[in-house]
Structure 1
Amino acid sequence: MENGKMQFSAPVSRDRVISKFPKWYTPQACLQTKDHWHVRVKTACKDRAPWSLGMKMSKVVVVGDLYVGKTCLINRFCKDLFDRDYKATIGVDFEIERFQLLGFPYSLQIWDTAGQEKFKCIASTYYRGAQIIIIVFDLADIRTLEHTRQWLVEAMKENEPRSCSVFLIGAKRDLLASAECQRVERDAIKMAADMRAEFWSVSSKTGENVQECFSRVAAVAFEDSMLQALQGGVPSHIGSSDLIKIDRGTAGDPRAADENRLTCC
């Protein structure tokens, strides 16, 4: 810290600097239509509390059916790339994205999990310790929306009740005409309400709403972490690079996971 200001080892891109609480997608789809930080969080940040509490990182787990667009969503946000010919994720993979929230460095560790049934037991090992659960479905395939409830059940088996914030994201918005998209979104908003999730509609191809959605995710994760820390219950998954338990080699190779004696169902 120099002259009362936090120093970063490398600059954070402008679109990762968040001072105002990001807006929701639509009021009907949001659990909490607010556009301001919690007063305790704002006060703590003025007192430089996040730095003293070791507030550095939150774990985000992305789940959903095969080919709904999980990897494309993450690649669009993290790399600003879209590749329609990507290969399906094997096991798990992760990206780390850095932010500056209310003047403090903060990162999201974003886990991309396989949608194939045969890898579900491997991927579920990495659900544990999530602060944000993102469930992705294909807006053009209503069956994938129907499966989202079970994905939430699977993810919550590895986490404490009410320990996670949940986002329901409809991908491939660009494939639907406006009227059809609105119809599917109405069904998705009802599902999100039942799941106590916040709904977003995005397009990884065009980038529509992707940055805005992840900005909201980062802000929610940071604020939730701050409030828990201020109440004296800092989550075990917050704070350091200890979040990363494996390297990219083991993440993508189910044989390596088996060698590490991961328990399968």
Structure 2
Amino acid sequence: MLESRSAVFKMLRDKAYKDRQINSFVPPYNTDATPYRQTDFSLEVREACKSNASITTGLKISKAIFIGDVAVGKTCVINRFCHERFDANYKSTIGVDFEVERFDILNVPFNLQIWDTAGQERFKAIASSYFRGAHAIVIVFDLTSLMSLSHSPEWLKEATKVNSGNPQRYLVGTKRDLMSSIAYKEVEKYAIKMAMDLKAEFWAVSSSTGEGIQELFYRIACMAFENSVKSEESVRSRMITCGTDLDGFQKIQPSSAEKSRQKCNRCNV
């Protein structure tokens, strides 16, 4: 197995590759086409990463699932980012495929699981079982096919049905290089409207040229990392609060009645 194909190798590296080290928050593709207004890591997250608290230890993993119609380019998008390659000879994904990308975000190790699911109807039942536990849902459609865009709500429904909480949502249009500027502008209007309806962030990318691919994955990683650290900090804060309450409880003095019973018991011995 090639080093670049080994998920375990990436996760066990002491340090991420230089192009996977992130110290600044990646902005959205279009600030008018996203429900996520965040453009920088929060002070809480920066302080947690800087303080060498428990948040900076252990294995940090978030899960992103890529869903959408067959032949929209899900696998090509993932391969372009993970392996820096583009294969024009399309082969349908059977069931699911899996990648892991190791990042160092604010000098903290972070792993992003990337699940590539099949778009064919006969694999839908298999693929949907892998939707659970997603921190990011990436709905992929073909910019040259409005039909694939119209199916986006169905895919999102399938994914959210098995996911509690509030996973990040992205609506990603592929094959940007195949469209003229005029044609793209027309399609973009429909795509942005759909993204707003789905409460998702819109991106337009090209696996052939690599346009927007790295920025998309960096954005997903930054958002997932931010949410992961905040979640862990919240848990740690609750644990400290519970410990404080317990200490206070243990220091409660016995009541007068209890003291009397203890005195009587000593007298009867």
TM over 0.5: yes
What does residue 252 of structure 1 align with?
none
Deviations 1:153-194 (A, max 9, x none): 0001110042x0011100000111011111111211111111
1:191 aligns with 2:212: no
Q: TM-score, with normalisation over the residues of structure 1?
A: 0.82
Report the Cα offset of residue 10 of structure 1: 4.3
Q: TM-score, with normalisation over the residues of structure 2?
A: 0.80
Please identify, of 178-187 and 60-69, the stretch whose mean Cα deviation from structure 2 is larger.
178-187
Q: Which amino acid aligns with 2:153?
A: R
Deviations 1:99-153 (A, max 9, x none): 1100111111100000000000000000000001100000000000000011000
SS of the aligned residue for 1:127 comes to: coil
Counterpart CA distance in 2 for 1:169 and 1:211 is 13
| 8 Å CA contact retained: 1:55, 1:226 | no
Counterpart CA distance in 1 for 2:52 and 2:200 is 31
Counterpart CA distance in 2 for 1:152 and 1:176 is 26
Q: Which amino acid aligns with 1:87?
A: K
Pick from 45, 48, 65: which aligns with 1:44?
A: 48
SS of the aligned residue for 1:112 comes to: strand
Q: Which amino acid aligns with 1:21?
A: F
Report the Cα offset of residue 95 of structure 1: 0.5
| 8 Å CA contact retained: 2:15, 2:104 | no
| 8 Å CA contact retained: 1:25, 1:199 | yes
Pick from 57, 75, 82: which aligns with 2:79?
A: 75
Counterpart CA distance in 2 for 1:190 and 1:68 is 19
Q: Which amino acid aligns with 2:223?
A: V
Which 4+ residue blocks in structure 1 deviate beyond 6 angstroms?
Answer: none
SS of the aligned residue for 1:111 comes to: strand
User: Which residues of 2 match residues 132-151 of structure 1 at below 5 A?
Assistant: 132-151=136-155
Counterpart CA distance in 1 for 2:52 and 2:127 is 37
Counterpart CA distance in 2 for 1:127 and 1:60 is 9
Q: Which amino acid aligns with 1:212?
A: E
Residue identity over aligned pairs, in percent, reads 49
Counterpart CA distance in 1 for 2:79 and 2:115 is 12
Counterpart CA distance in 1 for 2:106 and 2:56 is 12
Across the aligned residues of Structure 1 and Structure 2, the Cα RMSD in angstroms comes to 1.6
User: Which residues of 2 match residues 1-265 of structure 1 at below 5 A?
Assistant: 9-49=13-53, 50-52=55-57, 54-162=58-166, 164-232=167-235
| 8 Å CA contact retained: 1:172, 1:202 | yes
Report the Cα offset of residue 34 of structure 1: 3.1
Relative contact order higher in (CA < 8 Å, ≥ 6 apart)? 1
SS of the aligned residue for 2:49 comes to: helix
Counterpart CA distance in 2 for 1:96 and 1:209 is 19
The count of aligned residue pairs is: 225
SS of the aligned residue for 2:148 comes to: helix
Counterpart CA distance in 1 for 2:51 and 2:72 is 43
Q: Which amino acid aligns with 2:62?
A: S
Q: Which amino acid aligns with 1:121?
A: A
| 8 Å CA contact retained: 1:21, 1:35 | yes
